[in-house]
Amino acid sequence: MAICLVAPAVPAVAAPAVVWPAPAVSIVLERSGGFAGRSETFAVDQATVGGRKALWLVATPEFRRLRGSYLPVNACCDRFGYRLEVTYRYGLRKTVTTVQGTPAPQILGDVLAEVQRVGAQPSLAAGRAA
């Protein structure tokens, strides 16, 4: 004689899924160095005039596949260093660091140029408000 016990089905509670690719919500670019040794910050978010292209670029598969850094063998000379931090919906983040003139995928150069072109410089805006 076989007895078969069946437990009542209990629905599983699933954690909310993180959708990837998640849309980008902000980009912060820190640029430092160069001949004068200056440090500047550029910020792009959904309210930035002209920022839609930069936010679109960092949401592409090409950008999401970038390594965390593209650094030269020889760090000499008066070049700019860049630290790019992207925040995506759901709190996901990606940071890429590079130095001017270092070989890197085209998408990284495109993002750096676009963020510098349209990005707000918080330090300048704060100075105007004072």
CATH number at residue 64: 3.30.350
Domain contains 84: yes
The verdict on residue 13 lying in a domain is no
Is residue 10 a part of any domain in this protein? no
pLDDT score at 69: 97
Q: In whole angstroms, give the CA distance from residue 97 to residue 83.
A: 5
The secondary element (H helix, E strand) that includes residue 39 is strand 38-45
Structural domain contains residue 17:
no
What pLDDT is recorded for position 34?
78
Q: What domain range is 102 assigned to?
A: 24-129
pLDDT of residue 126: 55
**Residue 71's pLDDT is what?**
94
In a domain, 14, yes or no: no
**Assigned domain for 96 exists:** yes
How many domains, the chain? 1
Burial 67-91 (b: 16+ CB within 10 A, else e): eeebeeeeeeeebbbbebebbbeee
Examine residue 85 and state whether it is found in any structural domain, yes or no: yes
pTM reported for the whole predicted model: 0.77
pLDDT in tens, the chain (130 residues): 444 444 444 444 444 444 556 899 999 999 998 777 789 999 999 999 999 999 999 999 999 999 999 999 887 778 899 999 999 999 999 999 999 999 999 999 999 999 999 999 876 555 545 4
